Structure 1
């Protein structure tokens, strides 16, 4: 550019000798600039690492089984979000998480995403649903979604208790789960889906409530395969939502969906928590 001189490489680095300037001063200035450049590189490297962590896949830490993490896996999968998992297998792993300050209330599940260490199942689900537009368009829709979600959480909570019950109590627990599923919970969702053109529970688009209802339906069907026989709307809902691309993928063999808990899973949970 006319009127503007180009700076030489020596001038830019501060190493060019100028009259009246002592050579040792030039060297000191050069070392200073080199040190500053190194510090700047370190700052940028650290910043890029943090940005990489924030923009990378969510990291889930829990047991290698369903438990309270499974609904989180479902919701991320429904949103089309890939995630990584670390499985708790020893008590030492669990205690280290507590010692390192990862678990706010000394409890799992733990989800690391967007630079956050998220704990408490409902808080995690709320965050994911909000982030990926699965929590309604307004406050009223969110209220209805939350009510439906609480219902399925209650139902799945009973199944979780059933899985950890002593053998002599399982028959009674199973009867209770099926009775409440068919008389208290499923009729509510059946009625909601009877409205003309109502393909989803709230707002006629997929929400967290739909994802969790499908999860609950499949869990109850594992206990009694024909449980949906009296509920034609739920049968249609199950077929419809199961075929949504992201959910269909999650339901395929080899996905990160976990199987029903077995004795080995139950034993691992007891060992990690030292509850037996």
Structure 2
């Protein structure tokens, strides 16, 4: 019997958090090996374990996988969260890419210079309200179903819930003009596996603070953008 997946990253959310979310939503228990220093990362590189010399990395089913999209695709396929046919998968991929764009915009808030932070937050909120949230509200309105694709849970519902929670951390009232997104957020949050992941003490990572940001910059040798 295969062991639990092992996730290699650090204490922050970053590009691993969506992988944590997807595994948790699928009801899959996983272990984490968290980098504490840049030397921890360098050791993985020197040992030849990181194909492109960067994290995230996941050991699963006897494989060592890198590149977050590849990891997410594998997990979604394995646990039947990737639609029933190629048309559904195309929609899932398209919606997911939009979610990734918004998520990466919010990650820039973390990596920028402190004096740029307010401007980055304002930009992320503006794009969320004017571009991304209306798009997903319209998808739900167009078909009147409980989920984004195929009227059943897929990976994109999990990805969307994650990013909705992130934008609410920037502005708690940001979803008020989007009743269908608010309903989807409540619906997905109530699923047993997701509800468990949202509880205190889970492997879900907290919002960034200065301590986490500084640790990430040291481990990954990040320069502000």
Same fold (TM over 0.5): yes
Question: Per-residue deviation at 1:274?
Answer: 3.2
Q: Deviations over 1:220-276 (max 9, x none)?
A: 000000000100100111111100111010001110000111111111122123346
Q: Deviations over 1:156-192 (max 9, x none)?
A: 1011111121111011111100110011101111011
Structure 1 residue corresponding to 2:62, chosen from 115, 138, 142 = 115
- For 1:86-97, what aligned pairs fall within 5 Å after superposition? 86-97=33-44
- For 1:201-216, what aligned pairs fall within 5 Å after superposition? 201-216=148-163
3-state SS in 2 of match to 1:193: helix
Question: How many angstroms apart in 1 are the aligned matches of 2:143 and 2:55?
Answer: 41
- For 1:197-236, what aligned pairs fall within 5 Å after superposition? 197-236=144-183
Question: How many angstroms apart in 2 are the aligned matches of 1:219 and 1:176?
Answer: 14
Whether 2:93 is the aligned partner of 1:162: answer no
Structure 2 residue corresponding to 1:259, chosen from 177, 192, 206 = 206
TM-score, structure 2 normalization: 0.97
Supply the RMSD in Å over aligned alpha carbons. Answer: 1.0
Structure 1 residue corresponding to 2:129, chosen from 182, 190, 201 = 182
Whether 2:191 is the aligned partner of 1:244: answer yes
Q: Deviations over 1:9-49 (max 9, x none)?
A: xxxxxxxxxxxxxxxxxxxxxxxxxxxxxxxxxxxxxxxxx
1:45 maps to which residue?
none
Whether 2:17 is the aligned partner of 1:70: answer yes
Q: Indicate conservation of the 8 Å contact 2:102/2:132, yes or no.
A: yes
1:41 maps to which residue?
none
Question: Per-residue deviation at 1:77?
Answer: 0.3
Q: Deviations over 1:141-166 (max 9, x none)?
A: 00000001001100010111111211
TM-score, structure 1 normalization: 0.79
Task: Provide the aligned length of Structure 1 versus Structure 2.
Answer: 223
Uncovered stretches (5+) of structure 2, i.e. residues with no partner: none
- Give the number of the structure whose alpha-carbon radius of gyration is greater: 1
1:23 maps to which residue?
none
- For 1:110-149, what aligned pairs fall within 5 Å after superposition? 110-149=57-96
Question: How many angstroms apart in 2 are the aligned matches of 1:152 and 1:167?
Answer: 25
3-state SS in 2 of match to 1:86: strand
Uncovered stretches (5+) of structure 1, i.e. residues with no partner: 1-51
2:53 maps to which residue?
106
Q: Deviations over 1:207-230 (max 9, x none)?
A: 011000000000000000000010
Question: How many angstroms apart in 1 are the aligned matches of 2:134 and 2:220?
Answer: 37
